[in-house]
A and B are shown apart, each in its own frame.
Chain A
């Protein structure tokens, strides 16, 4: 089991010029590692929809690629996204931060906590490149391979759950985030 900050540190080293869509517990921590226009802190979010938003971005910007930092609880809310990701190959790298908790609501267990195998679900959904890391040293050693090459890729990251966390907040208003992201993608304000 690794700490969330260890997991994200490795992501930051390997994200390159790709868009990062961060939600749930990762969203609260990610700005400590990167806060560029291509870092989209998806708060407030639609429950479970970060992978779908990321897929749309990746299909629209195929040369760029998208990393989605998702929780296990929100992945459970939209398991169909794994099938959709497999059906529309695009450079989406879905990193499922697994702590078996709804951390942003205080740390209640998710349904299926400790029993659901997200890597196996992703495989069964038709995603060929699936990785699972439960230790920081293994993730450091495997991230270069997992986060390169063509998507879709699903990476299951086993992290320590944190109880009593505050609900994460976005670093800036959503309107500003959208404008920054669009600017980062080369669009001028409308």
Chain B
């Protein structure tokens, strides 16, 4: 299970310096821990494309940011993802909440977010893993370390 404290701990253990984010109703619960994290700087932006570009600037400047957004913002941020990941080749680590994923799996939601998130991530050629309640924050840190070691972008999709 994921909660703010354990996710913050996982990110700090990996040496993450900045979390660039726009909250959603699930991820937003992590706000107090993200805000108070001693070794993380929380950066609020207005739109998810901004988050991608700001994180890229941080990365080029020598920092280790992650981007924390909902899939709806991922859809909006396509041009920036394309440019940063595939034109500039700046590797970013993305944490993306997938709205309504669990309800969709149970056939209890008509929200189209779960239908399009994975195809969109594949279309942007971003390697990814989908984590749900069976996983632990250490799975996030493991993914981060693997991506960092390969100097590659990676997305962790978080089932909501």
Contact = CB atoms under 8 A, between A and B. Distances in A.
Given A45-B83, A46-B80, A83-B46, A56 B53 contact: yes
Contacts of B55: 56
A137 B82 CA distance: 41
Interface residues of B, number: 32
B151 A190 contact: yes
A49 B50 contact: yes
B88 A56 contact: no
A46 B55 CA distance: 13
Contacts of A76: none
B54 A56 contact: yes
Interface string A16-56: 00000000000000000000000000001111111011111
A50 B82 CA distance: 14
Interface in A139-178: 174-175, 178
A56 B57 contact: yes
Q: Give the interface size class of chain A.
A: 20 to 34
Interface string B62-98: 1101000000000000011011100111100000000
Given A46-B83, A52-B45, A174-B88, A187 B62 contact: yes
A80 B47 contact: yes
Given A52-B53, A55-B57, A59-B18, 11 more contacts: A44-B87, A49-B83, A53-B54, A53-B60, A56-B63, A59-B58, A60-B59, A60-B61, A60-B62, A61-B62, A78-B47
Q: Which 9 A-B pairs have the closest CB atoms?
A: A56-B57, A60-B61, A80-B46, A52-B53, A49-B53, A46-B83, A46-B80, A56-B58, A57-B57
